[in-house]
Structure formats: C-alpha cells, structure tokens
Amino acid sequence: MEAKHLQSRVAIVTFPLHGHQNPMMRLACRLANLGIRVTFFTSKWFEKSAKPSKAYEELIKVVGIEGGLDDNQLNSSNDAIADVLRESEKMRQPFEKLVLADEEENGTPFACLIVDACFPWLPEVRHRFVAGFWASTVACASVMVTLPDLVAKGYLPAQGEKLLSPGANGLALAGIPFYFHTANEEDLRMSIEFGQVLLHSGMSCLLLNSFEGAEKQRIQELQSLLPCPCLPVGPLMATDQNGIARHADRCLEWLDQQEPKSVVYVSFGTLAYVSAQQFEELALGLESSGASFLWVVRPTLVDKQEDVETFLEEFRKRTSAKGLIVAWANQLQILAHPSVGLFLSHCGWNSTLEAVWSGVPVLAWPLFDEQNVCARYLVHDWKAGTPISDAALAKSGVLVSRKEVRDGVRSGLRDESLRYSMKRASKAAREAVQPGGSSFSSIEKLVLAIKAGSWSS
C-alpha cells in the first residue's frame, strides 16, 4: 500500500492567471479520474476559484500560496504582464517549502511535480520527475524559443511592415503574437528568458494544452527545438464542468427561450479590456445587427468603466427584448446550448479550444498577446471563424466600427460553411481525448510514468 501511495501523488503549481489555472485544474481532474491524488498549488488570490467540486474533494487538495495579483490589478497591458511575472517569483519559496512539508507529513515524496512552464524558476526545481505545462498555443512556445534568432535577424523589435516578412521555422511574422508587435527591449529580454526556461529547464517532458488535429506541424517544430518529449494532452475540457451540473441560472433560462443557433455569445475573457469608444461601437453594432445576444461585461472590461456606465444602462434598457448582459457566465455551458450560433471572441487559447470543443463558429476579434495566432488558426487554417475585420486580425488596438460588428454578426450567424468546418474541428478535438487518440495516449504515458515514479522515454 505504501508503494501505491507514493506512485499516486502529484503536485501541480499553476502560474497566477485564470487562463493558466483553468486548464491545469482540468488536468488535475483528468488525473484524479484515473486515481491520482493531486495537491494543487495556486496564488492565494485564485484559491477560492480553484476549489474543485465535491466529486473531487478527496483526490484534489487546493493550497493557496503567496504571489500573484488579484483580478482588480490584472489587465492585458505589457506592464501588467510584467507585474505578474515579478509576482510569480514570490511563489517559488512557499511552493518548495509546502512540498517538503507535505512530503514529510505523508512520509513519501510526490511521484511527480507538474510545473507551469511560465515560471522563470522552473529550471531550479529539483525533483526526479518534473513535467512542464504549456497553457498557450504551441506556436507561441516555438516563437519564445526562436526569439534570439528573430532579434538577431532584425525582425524584432517590430518595425512596421517587417511584420510581414517570413520568420523562423516557416512562421510568418504576421502571425507572431501581438505582444511582440509592441514589445520593447525589456519585454523581449523577459520573453527570451521564457524560451531559455523551455530549453534548459531539465524537465522530463512538456505537456501541451493542444492536440495534433489543431497544431500537428507546430508540435513537430517544437519537438525539434526542445530536448524533452512534447506531449499534447488537450483540449483539456471539464466535460462534467468540474462537477458543476446544469443549473437554472438566468443565462440558461434566457437561452432556453431563444431560437436554435440564433444567439451571438460575446465574451472577451478575464484580462482583455477596450476603450470606452470601442465599447460603445461594439454595443451599437450588436444592436443594429438585430440578432439576439448574450454579452459578458465584467467590471474591468472597459479601461475607464465609469465613462460608459450611463451609456450601458440606457443600452441595457433599450435592448432588453433582444439581449442579456451579465457580469459572468459559465462559458462551456453557454457554448453547449443549442440556441448559441456564433461566438464573438477575443480568441484567447482557452476560449478558442472551448469554441472548437462545442462546435460553435467564431467571429474573431483578437486584442492582445497570442490571440491573433489563435484567430489565424480559426480563420485561415480551420476555416471555422471569420475576422471582425482584416485590420483587427493584423494589428492590435485597431478601432472596430459598429458597421463591422453588425456585418460580422449577421454573416457569421448565416454562414453554414463556418458551422460545417467547426463541426469537423470539434470532431478532431473530441477524438484526440478518446481511447486511441493522440492526447489520450499522452495522458496514458504520463499516468504510467507517475505510477512508476519517474519518466522513461
């Protein structure tokens, strides 16, 4: 029994952002379903949101540690991202101390540590079996690793039309994450360090929140760059909503009253923000489209929320017969509803994967970071999305007009070819995590290694 106890314990530590915590918690649930006990370390600010459902309480223990920023301090600016990086440094010592304390208390070490690969201190983690975890696109990881080459060739820092030049490993610079379009030398230095972490971490393997049907070529490219095995384990979906059953909240009740595939769902994730002018253009475009809409307007969506409070209240009253505006929604449940026919999205990677999983076409409006890469996958590679505008796909911060919103919503809801392509992408995503699928096989390899207490390639 003691050996079995040793082989069934894993520690996971997630970078302090919701977009990292959510897929890592889904990985924890996947492991728990296979009998692995998980201690899940996260920032104290996110501890409450990381709590698993009762179904997982005995197998997943959540521990909050110092470091990170609360939601009110987070946004999508490069400065805020740098702040999160600095705060993440504070998580190292508490994590290491608590791992040791946990192992002493239980009398056995963890069989494996799964560490978010965005932690700059990943190479300093000492354990016989360390698995890295990459939450974003595989293409983004490849860019991080090849940044020194891009800088040496003069492609970065970005200078206007140079972004249209071909880049390393066949990746067009037009498809390089928005973050690098505005990155200064300090931003690039930090990003190069990310790439060096991936190259020199000493991790046994790197787990990728992706699947071969989405990024097969990119996975192969990354594997050619890194010394450790790269294992796609995605898409990491909470198929049981981490135990959250469908409940009669106002979103689902409202959707139940709508026609099939008639609703555009609008959400920009947890970090993205827009100007007051852009917010009003978006709202007026939704209104003039004539479509029914469910719009998530979180308190930090607008750069200066107070500038739109009066406008929003009047808009809410004016459109109450066609739309529902909420501060939060259970996105997977919304996307799974038969009334939803289009997802107007910022194209964060988690949202992109959730749209694919649910088979809902995307009206792509990338705003920052790697979202333009995700949008290009949807629009150009998978043919399962349409851009809100060509300019917005190419450059961050472009003002999108109410007419572009109106036309995008109308055409996106009507376009059956998008729906067909997204169903095909959804089929590939679901097959990846079924027995015999590439991601299922990767999880099997991981579990076998955990039970053996070490990685063997």
Q: Identify whether 18 is a catalytic site residue.
A: no
What is the torsion angle, in degrees rounded to the nearest 10, for the CA atoms of residue 352, residue 358, residue 360 and residue 364?
A: -10
Which three-class secondary structure state does DSSP give residue 93?
helix
Would you call the peptide bond into 387 cis, given omega within 30 degrees of 0 as the criterion?
Answer: no
Contact 293, 286 (CB under 8 A): yes
What is the residue whose two structure tokens read 């915590």? 21
Strand pairing class (37-43; 9-13): parallel
Nearest alpha-carbon partner for 296 in 310, 311, 282, 277: 282
Catalytic residue among 5, 18, 20, 181: 20
CA–CA separation, 132 and 115 (whole Å)? 5
Contact 186, 105 (CB under 8 A): no
Burial readout 288-311 (b: 16 or more C-beta within 10 A, e: otherwise): ebebbbbbbbbebbbbebeebeee
Nearest alpha-carbon partner for 91 in 60, 61, 116, 128: 116
Which three-class secondary structure state does DSSP give residue 365?
coil
Q: Determine if residue 436 is left, alpha or beta; phi over 0 gives left, psi from -120 to 50 gives alpha, anything else beta.
A: left
CA–CA separation, 175 and 165 (whole Å)? 10
Contact 175, 373 (CB under 8 A): yes
Q: How open is the CA angle 371-377-380, to the nearest 5 degrees?
A: 125
Catalytic positions = 20
